[in-house]
Structure 1
Amino acid sequence: MPTLHGMPPRAARLLLSAGLAMALVTGCTGDSGLDRTAGDPVTEEEAQVLSALLQRNQQRGGADFVVTAPYGDGELLTLTGAVDFRNEVGRAQVVTSFDDGRDDDVRTLFFTDEEVWVGDVPGLTDALAAGGVPAVTYLRRPVTLGSEDGAPLLLDVLTEVLLNLSARRADDPRAFLDGDYTWQGQRSIDSRLTTLFGVPGDRTVAVDAAEDVLTQFVTPLADGGFDVTVTLSGHGMRPIDLPAAEETAAAADHPDVAAALGI
């Protein structure tokens, strides 16, 4: 499982350097602005709770989420859905929007750390029916995180970033006292007061000042030229059922359809 100071080898191939480092202040996040200056290192008390933030997501079970990635000039990829951190599975509506007048591209996505299911794609059911596979609404394919033969798929990078915001065990609190973790003030996110922390790799974490749970994580993608923003809310159990086998076909069995529809 991932920790704050090291991601698993698969996640390391996401073009993310270092680890998914987080920050959290419990009990005193509401008044942590007293006698503090943005850029101050975290205190020993803060370091104690920094180490358990990803574990807290695991303990809560899941959350609702919005992930945004402005990956191109006038192009925005947005995932809105729910994640089950304990079972490493999620579902989302995926919207690609453009500012040049093109219609939004909208799809339904289910995902684990190994596979994705893509559905609600215009033309998918008809194309599969023409190939002798009727009543199928999802194509399933392996997660593509990049290799020597090709670059990672942005959609898969985003789901992997999300799934890695959870860990079974806490980190060593002493690791957060090296001066690289800083207090950055407070601001409101979706009408919730949050405490901001700067973490290694030009990342930012926002923590709910009332409930002490992760509210937002912002991270650059190396060589991507843009930031990915993950916003969590409604922390709690999120049971998610993957599409049934009879609704699903393997993309590898229908490469022409998958390629034509961008799956």
Structure 2
Amino acid sequence: MSPTRRPLLPVAGVVLALLTGCSGDGGQRLAGDRVTVEEAAVLADVLLRNHEQGGADFVVTAPYGEGTVLTLTGEVDFAGATGRAQAVTTHGGERPDDARTLFFTANEVWFGDIPGLPDALTAAGLPEAAYVRRPLATGAESPLTDVLLRLVLNLSAEEADDPGAFRGEAYAWQGDRSIDGELTAVYASDSGWSVAVDRSSDLLVQFTTRLPGQEADVTVSLADHGPREIGVPAAEETVDGTAHPQVAATVGL
């Protein structure tokens, strides 16, 4: 494994009890049974397959706080490590939803369509701009949005993992289940993550994990795999948030 790559699914989650099925030799197979040789090969290739497909639509749901959920809905170009999304924070009806548009790469994130941003840009003498850009945070205290964007980008790799790594007792088949009408096989690690892989195409359909410090699972769902072309906002419509901290602060960035 290249030292610059991240392992298959690097953060913790909770394994759910799923359906049982039949083993390939006709015997009854139970949720929790070890991964077979064939399944290990599928798991070893699942991130590489995302990269080879080029991209996908995605939905990320991340509950946090009391009745609060952050949902990112968009598309990602895995090959080019670029994406865009609509970020919506719901507060359980206690106050209006917060929404904003995001563009992101492995290094930067752009924010737009934020209430108050046009006035802040005009006050700063930048009325022609529409987005504020800042570095994508990578530290332990990163904002949840940044953590989720990095999580989406990390569901891709230019090399396969070692199939033998999935043959130990730490990895198990958890059953088959239907997700959005597609039959998937679900696998889990005792370190916490679980994945659902399309039975017919071996493509990643869903990844579930728990982030450090959170009490609920984060779920990333992928669909419509295929090439994407995603351009980030042009320089002339973008303000550097580090160079204009008053604009960033006004809109809570």
TM-score of the pair, normalised by structure 2: 0.90
Residue 7 of structure 2 aligns with an amino acid whose one-letter code is: L
Q: How many residues align?
A: 241
Match of 1:168 among 158, 168, 172: 158
Match of 2:200 among 205, 210, 220: 210
Match of 1:177 in 2: 167
2:20 corresponds to 1:2: no
Match of 1:24 in 2: none
Moved over 4 A (4+): 30-34
Match of 1:79 in 2: 72
Q: Deviations over 1:59-116 (max 9, x none)?
A: 0000000001001111000000000001111000000011143111110000011100
Match of 2:36 among 12, 37, 43: 43
Question: The residue matched to 1:70 in structure 2 has which SS?
Answer: strand
Residue 79 of structure 2 aligns with an amino acid whose one-letter code is: R
TM-score of the pair, normalised by structure 1: 0.86
More divergent stretch after superposition (155-164 vs 98-107): 98-107
1:55 to partner: Cα distance = 0.3
1:58 to partner: Cα distance = 0.4
Alignment CA distance shift 1:5-1:81 (3 Å): closer
Structure 1 distance, partners of 2:129, 2:191, is 43
Match of 1:186 in 2: 176
Structure 2 distance, partners of 1:225, 1:157, is 15
Q: Deviations over 1:146-165 (max 9, x none)?
A: 25xxx111000000011000
Q: Deviations over 1:27-84 (max 9, x none)?
A: xxx9768621000000112112221110000000000000010011110000000000
Residue 86 of structure 2 aligns with an amino acid whose one-letter code is: Q
Structure 1 distance, partners of 2:22, 2:55, is 27
Alignment CA distance shift 1:202-1:165 (3 Å): same
Match of 2:125 among 102, 114, 132: 132
Question: The residue matched to 2:200 in structure 1 has which SS?
Answer: coil
Q: Map 1:87-102 onto structure 2 (within 5 A).
A: 87-102=80-95
Match of 1:144 in 2: 137
Structure 1 runs not aligned, ≥5 long = 8-15, 21-29
> Identity of counterpart residues, as a percentage?
53
Quick check: 1:3–1:170 contact (8 Å CA) kept in 2?
no
Quick check: 1:125–1:135 contact (8 Å CA) kept in 2?
no
Match of 2:61 among 55, 61, 68: 68
Match of 2:249 in 1: 259
Quick check: 2:42–2:202 contact (8 Å CA) kept in 1?
no
Q: Deviations over 1:194-229 (max 9, x none)?
A: 111112421110111222100000011122222110
Structure 1 distance, partners of 2:199, 2:62, is 26
Structure 1 distance, partners of 2:164, 2:139, is 34
Structure 1 distance, partners of 2:8, 2:225, is 23
Quick check: 1:2–1:166 contact (8 Å CA) kept in 2?
no
1:145 to partner: Cα distance = 2.3
1:260 to partner: Cα distance = 2.4
Q: Map 1:15-54 onto structure 2 (within 5 A).
A: 16=11, 35-54=28-47
1:2 to partner: Cα distance = 2.3
2:106 corresponds to 1:113: yes
Alignment CA distance shift 1:48-1:254 (3 Å): same
